[in-house]
A and B are shown apart, each in its own frame.
Chain A
């Protein structure tokens, strides 16, 4: 039972354009949502987060949008750069002491 779903296994975007990565969840108790980025042979790196009381959080080129009624969040990267090419994992949790539940990841390729 996948509580966090990333339905696109891969995405290709041209350098300078917007990358939009999507994530859906089924557990309405999730209160905190995060995006992690992973390069090959490395561990995931925390990128950006959002709590359920907000619908948007921005950090430089990265913006996460949360639509609680649709149980959907998205990560926007503008402008996309070749160094953004990585696997992006969406994760969620209902409380700080509850394990993070991860999606399967979306591989982003930014083409120069």
Chain B
């Protein structure tokens, strides 16, 4: 009964490939996020969806495309993977009434070789 789950936990792939990371939350939250934690350990917002609609899209290459089939899911698809995409990607969710308090998934460690 994990609150925010992500799959896969680890992903190793070669440059140029396309991959997806899936995220699901069972908290009934209306807002979901994708964060990237790079090698310098900074956690940076990439995207935010509220009720399946994109509300935040930070400066992210358009090779990254989020998709929210419903309020409980937010997937991240990455095209033409590059070495610099290697990072840990975290999904998170929050409720409209307490949007600051975000619940994070365990992260997906992506390694591009």
Q: Which of B41, B45, B105 contacts A104 (CB 8 A)?
A: B41
Task: Report the contact-size class of chain A (Cβ under 8 Å from the partner).
Answer: 20 to 34
Complex-state Cα separation, A102 to B43, whole angstroms: 6
Q: How many residues of B contact A (CB 8 A)?
A: 22
B82-113 interface mask toward A, CB cutoff 8 Å, 1 = contact, 0 = none? 00000000101000000111111111000000
Total contacts A-B at CB 8 Å: 47
Q: Which residues of A contact B101 (CB under 8 A)?
A: 34, 46, 49
A97 touches B100 (CB 8 A): no
A29 at interface by CB-CB < 8 Å: no
Q: A43-B90, A89-B43 are in contact. Are A99 and B58 (CB under 8 A)?
A: yes
Q: Does B27 reach chain A (CB closer than 8 Å)?
A: no
**Interface residue? B68 (CB, 8 A):** no
CB of A78 within 8 Å of the partner chain: no
Q: Which residues of B contact A105 (CB under 8 A)?
A: 41
CA distance A42 to B99 in the complex (A): 21
Q: B56 within 8 Å of A by Cβ?
A: yes
Cβ-closest chain B residue relative to A96? B99
Q: A32 to chain B: closest CB distance in Å?
A: 5
Contact of A45 with B by CB under 8 A? yes
Q: A34-B100, A41-B106, A49-B100 are in contact. Are A104 and B40 (CB under 8 A)?
A: yes
Interchain Cβ contacts under 8 Å between A and B, 17 examples: A34-B100, A34-B101, A36-B104, A42-B106, A43-B103, A43-B104, A43-B105, A46-B103, A89-B43, A99-B45, A99-B48, A99-B56, A100-B100, A100-B102, A102-B44, A104-B41, A105-B41
A residues with CB within 8 A of B: 32, 34, 36, 41-46, 49, 89, 91, 93, 96-97, 99-100, 102, 104-105
Known: A34-B101, A43-B104, A46-B102. 9 other contacts (CB 8 A): A32-B100, A34-B100, A41-B106, A41-B107, A99-B48, A102-B43, A104-B41, A104-B42, A105-B41
